Amino acid sequence: MKSKLQLTAIYLPVFLVLWLGLFLDSKALAEHIPFNQWITNFLVLICFAWVYSRVTARIKKLMLYGIALALLGEVVFSIVLGMYEYRLENVPIYVPLGHSLIYAAVFYIQKEKIIQRNKARIISILYWAMIAYSSLWLLFDQDVFGFLCMLVIVLLLRKKTGNELFFLIMFFMVVYLELLGTYYQCWFWPDTWFGKVPFIASSNPPSGISVFYFGFDIGCLWMYKKLNRQKWNRMKILRQIRSS
- Residue pLDDT, tens place only, 85-104: 999 999 999 999 999 999 99
What 3-state DSSP class applies to 199? strand
Alpha-carbon gap, residue 183 to 121, rounded angstroms: 31
Residue type, 153: I
Between CA 119 and CA 116, with CA 147 as vertex, the angle to 5 degrees is 5
Is the four-CA dihedral 21, 26, 32, 33 of positive or negative sign?
A: positive
Q: Confidence band (pLDDT; 50, 70, 90) for 238? A: low
- Please write the tens of the pLDDT for every residue from 59-89: 999 999 999 999 999 999 999 999 999 999 9
pTM, to two decimals: 0.91
DSSP 79: I
pLDDT at 224 over 90: no
**What ranges in the chain are assigned the alpha helix state H?**
8-24, 27-30, 36-52, 57-74, 94-109, 113-117, 119-141, 144-157, 164-183, 210-227, 229-243
pLDDT at 168 over 70: yes
DSSP 143: -
Mean pLDDT (whole number) for 190-209: 92
pLDDT at 3 over 60: no
Bridge partners for 201 per DSSP: 192
The residue that leads in pLDDT, 194 or 20, is 20
